[in-house]
Amino acid sequence: MLADEPPGRVRIRRRIATTREPENSPCRRIGAGLSNWYLRVPRTKMGETTVTSSRWITLAALALTCSTPAMAKDWKTVSVAMEGSYAPWNQTDASGKIVGFEVDILNDVCARAKLECNIVAQDWDGVIPGLTAGKFDIVMDGMSITEERMKTIDFSIPYASSPVAFLADKNGPLASLSNKGKMIDLSKDDAESKAALDTLRKELTGKNVGLQVSTTEATFADKYLKDVANVHEYKTTDEHDLDLMAGRIDVAFADTTYFLGTLAKPDAKDLEFVGPQFKGGPILGPGIGAAFRKTDKDLQDIYNKALKAALDDGSVSKYSLQWFKIDITK
- Domains of the chain (ranges; CATH) run 9-66 (no CATH), 77-161+286-324 (3.40.190.10), 164-284 (3.40.190.10)
pLDDT of residue 74: 87
Calpha distance 327→330 (Å, rounded): 7
C-alpha atoms less than 13 angstroms from C-alpha of 119 in its C-beta half-sphere: 21
Calpha distance 163→319 (Å, rounded): 19
DSSP letters, 156-178, are -S-SB---EEEEEETTSGGGG-S
User: 105-164: per-residue pLDDT in tens?
Assistant: 999 999 999 999 999 999 999 999 999 999 999 999 999 999 999 999 999 999 999 999
* pTM for the model: 0.71
How many angstroms separate the first and last alpha carbons of the chain? 68
Please list the residues that pair with 277 across neighbouring strands. 183
pLDDT of residue 189: 82
User: 129-144: per-residue pLDDT in tens?
Assistant: 999 999 999 999 999 9
pLDDT of residue 73: 81
- Report whether pLDDT(23) > 80: no
- Report whether pLDDT(40) > 90: no
E runs forming strands in 83-202: 85-86, 90-92, 98-99, 116-121, 138-139, 154-155, 164-169, 183-185
Q: Are strands 98-99 and 183-185 parallel, antiparallel or unpaired?
A: unpaired
Calpha distance 11→13 (Å, rounded): 6
pLDDT of residue 8: 41
